[in-house]
Amino acid sequence: MDSGDRNRVRLGGDDDDTLARAARLLQQHGFVVERGDSAALAAETGRRRAAEAAFRLNEERLDALLALSERHHASVEELAQFAIDKGVRLTRSTIGYLHFVNDAQDGFLHYFWSRGSRETCAAVELMDYTVCTAGIWADALRLRRPVVHNDYPNEPTRRGLPEGHHPLSRHMSIPVLRDDKVVAICGVANKPAPYDAADLRQLRLLANRLWSIVESQRTTAALEAANAELSRVAGIDALTGVANRRALETFLERQWKIAAREGWPISLLMLDIDCFKAFNDTYGHQAGDAALKAVGAAASEVARRPNDLVARYGGEEFLVVLTRAQEDDAMAIACGLVERVRALGLVHGGSACAPVVTVSIGAASHVPQPDGPADWPALVAAADAALYAAKQGGRNRACAASSRAAA
């Protein structure tokens, strides 16, 4: 464009005096002034304003999608509420809804309403709709495609509205599909102008983005639950339901470091069922399994604090970890456990020490040092040695590692 084009101005309008004054002023500043056609100028102005409005709306729509994506950690309820409120605003509607669908069972799982719907609708009773009983607002669900009713009062298939419902002039709804199943429907209503393809695209983008986030959350939650269950199962003895050897070692390693840092003691109780081979030989392995479960349960009832642990150490042996427990405390718990198992009254005709199932327990305690090794295996060995002393002392009793005196 040359300098002549840059200094050329076209004026248009019906007020000749005003145009003349404007022309003189522009000419004084070196502009070449031309009179233009008023209708053409008005049309050009209208097109420019429409383009600017469309640009602003597109920016608003992109911002809404970005804002929804940034809320991916919010609850499903918060996400749905945000999405439907934005859908209403961006389509220039006044009311809207978003319903999750159980396509397989012909029903709805969750109902979400826009803020405008909740504030102005007097129909307070929520009906439990199905695909068959719902009105034309659910056409998108039945037809599995977007549906627009730009002349709602004259729709021949409409069934009327519940008492207190908003009057409807226009309505648009879209389905959200996954694997050819409708998982949600989203609708808006009462836009001043007819709904168009841009409105449909906006509502579909919002609803589908919402569902992608919901799916991602559900997948993450399911994976976390599966991992937690896998960890739980991997750390539990299948027969007795207490921790297994692997979980025990991990727990001891962690608790030893904590105890070394905090300066508190750890005590171990090594427990063995007396004459267990004779019990199995006399009553069979099923009865033996039942006895193991009963003893494990009794130990779990004794070691109930959050940082205590009962584990099956191997065969008929159990190890009880007692955090923040001195040897005296551990011995008191051990003696109580001996009594508790005896009180179960599990008949044991093959025992050399009692007519019922009994246990022998060895107790050992230690205060780990911050600069010392994580030598929990040595504490296990000390408890095992105390257990041997309890057996040598006649079984059906507890013995402390420090004194090797049976109780």
Q: What is the DSSP string of 153-189?
A: GG-TT-----TTPPP-S-EEEEEEEETTEEEEEEEEE
**Does pLDDT of 326 surpass 90?**
yes
Band (37; pLDDT cuts 50, 70, 90): low
Q: Yes or no: say if 183 and 101 are a contact pair by the CB < 8 Å rule.
A: yes
The predicted pLDDT at position 248 comes to 94
Rounded Cα–Cα distance for residues 268 and 312 (Å): 13
**Does pLDDT of 41 surpass 60?**
no
65-84 pLDDT per residue, tens? 788 888 888 899 999 999 99
199-224 pLDDT per residue, tens? 999 899 999 999 999 998 888 888 88
**Does pLDDT of 295 surpass 90?**
yes
Rounded Cα–Cα distance for residues 161 and 188 (Å): 15
Mean pLDDT of 39-68: 69
Band (106; pLDDT cuts 50, 70, 90): low
83-94 pLDDT per residue, tens? 999 999 999 999
Residue type, 382: A
Query: Which tops the pLDDT comparison, 385 or 229?
Result: 385
Residue of 221, 240, 227, 191 lying closest to 88 (CA atoms): 191
**Does pLDDT of 310 surpass 90?**
yes
**Does pLDDT of 157 surpass 90?**
no
The CA-atom distances, in angstroms, between 141 and each of 101, 144, 184, 257, 348 are: 9, 5, 8, 59, 68
What value, to the nearest 5°, has the Cα angle with vertex 171 and ends 150 and 201? 90
**Does pLDDT of 331 surpass 90?**
yes
Band (3; pLDDT cuts 50, 70, 90): very low
Rounded Cα–Cα distance for residues 61 and 171 (Å): 20
- Top mean pLDDT of 129-138, 219-228, 267-276 is at 267-276
pTM above 0.85, yes or no: no
**Does pLDDT of 21 surpass 80?**
no
Q: For the chain, what percent of residues have pLDDT higher than 70?
A: 84
Rounded Cα–Cα distance for residues 212 and 344 (Å): 55
Band (127; pLDDT cuts 50, 70, 90): low
**Does pLDDT of 120 surpass 90?**
no
The predicted pLDDT at position 259 comes to 92
Mean pLDDT of 229-249: 88
The predicted pLDDT at position 389 comes to 95
Band (38; pLDDT cuts 50, 70, 90): low
Rounded Cα–Cα distance for residues 263 and 112 (Å): 54
Q: What is the arrangement of strands in the sheet containing 359-366, beginning at the earlier edge strand?
A: 309-314, 317-323, 266-273, 359-366, 398-400
Rounded Cα–Cα distance for residues 321 and 325 (Å): 9
Task: Tell me the two tokens of residue 347.
Answer: 């008949």
Task: Tell me the two tokens of residue 185.
Answer: 């429907």
Residue type, 178: R
**Does pLDDT of 338 surpass 90?**
yes
**Phi/psi of residue 350, nearest 5 degrees:** -95, 5
Mean pLDDT value across the chain: 85
Q: For the chain, what percent of residues have pLDDT higher than 90?
A: 54
**Does pLDDT of 167 surpass 50?**
yes
Query: Which residues are registered as beta bridge partners of 318?
Result: 271, 312
Residue of 93, 91, 90, 112 lying closest to 101 (CA atoms): 112
Residues involved in catalysis = 316
The predicted pLDDT at position 403 comes to 67
Band (282; pLDDT cuts 50, 70, 90): very high
Q: What is the arrangement of strands in the sheet containing 171-178, beginning at the earlier edge strand?
A: 107-113, 95-102, 181-189, 171-178, 147-149
Query: Which tops the pLDDT comparison, 40 or 276?
Result: 276
Least confident among 7-16, 116-125, 320-329? 7-16
Band (124; pLDDT cuts 50, 70, 90): very low
